[in-house]
Amino acid sequence: MSERYKPNTTVACVIASNDRYLLVEELIDGEIKYNQPAGHLEANESIVAACIREVQEETGLDIQPEGLVAIYQYTASEQLAFVRYTFYLTLKKCLISTPLDPVIQSTKWLTFTEIVALKSKLRSPLVLKCIEDYQNNKRYPLEILNDQLL
């Protein structure tokens, strides 16, 4: 009998303002990679609370997601798979952000064109896919999730 499939549950947030998107710059295995503010769901934490926490840790911003872009399944390798809940938030202006997490080198507000140019430095293909889905108005209300811990 094979071992049960257990993908990592992660959250991310597309944060948009004035045709720019907030990305975090992190050092992974000696290389700079770019991602939305994102991370893993912790024990006894709701999915929305995980998003709020990760955004605050990685950007220093205390903000609430407006809705859900989509839920993505991504297999990075035979041993590493993810189910990623990607939220969104649209801001009136690009806020100054300072990471609290020491793993995050900096944050950057980038245009879609600038992000496409960084394609080889994106943490995963989901970074671009989530932004494209957001731009195509793939957006759902938070009420679609029942994230109450029962």
68-119 pLDDT, tens per residue? 999 999 998 878 899 999 999 999 999 999 999 999 999 999 999 999 999 9
pLDDT for 150 equals 58
pLDDT for 149 equals 64
What's the average model confidence in pLDDT over 9-31?
96
39-77 pLDDT, tens per residue? 999 999 999 999 999 999 999 999 999 999 999 999 988
Cβ(58)–Cβ(99) below 8 Å: yes
